[in-house]
Amino acid sequence: MKASLRPWALGFAAVLVLAGCASEPTRIVPGTTAAETLQRLGPPTGRYPLTGGGERLQYSRMPAGFEVTDIDVDAAGKVVSVTQVLSEARFGHDIKVDQWRQNDVLAFYGRPFEISRVSSFDGVIWTWRYKAVNERRMLYIYIDPTGVVRRYHTGDDLELVRIRD
């Protein structure tokens, strides 16, 4: 009986692996149509208009995950870029302090893992989880009461430390 279950279990495992690959946003390649992308990945967690008539399809793994993938589609309906945006190497280039507004942050990073306040800043702090190599990290973006990004910083994800204690 055990021998007959093994091929079935292997087949099931293979289907799960293939299904996982099919739903991985970073496996979409430029030139793929928006319709094909939506068919493979399902509905995005966010959709945002782009300059020039295109659209951003955003696939976020928040609140439990560590990745946000932005898939930009041009006005003709073709994928032009696929970017995993929660990358420490990109933050300094991507985040536009004193220029971005709350909607810009949403269109780039999607909904945050958490929104909080501290007494030393008049506004809210949006937080995303990400990984740097294999370390769990946090991105904090400070948004003032008028909706403008005033600063950002990164830090360790201390939740894992609290769970261990």
Instruction: Express each pLDDT in 12-68 by its tens digit.
Output: 443 333 334 457 999 999 999 999 999 999 999 999 999 999 999 999 998 888 999
Mean pLDDT of 126-151: 95
What average pLDDT does range 102-121 have in this prediction?
A: 96
Rounded to an integer, the average pLDDT of 135-154 is 97
> What's the chain's average pLDDT?
87
List helix spans (H) across 26-87.
34-41
Q: What is the DSSP letter of 87?
A: -
Alpha carbon distance 101, 138 (integer Å): 20
Of the two residues 78 and 11, the one the predictor is more confident about is 78
Residues 6+ apart with CB under 8 A from 94: 85, 108
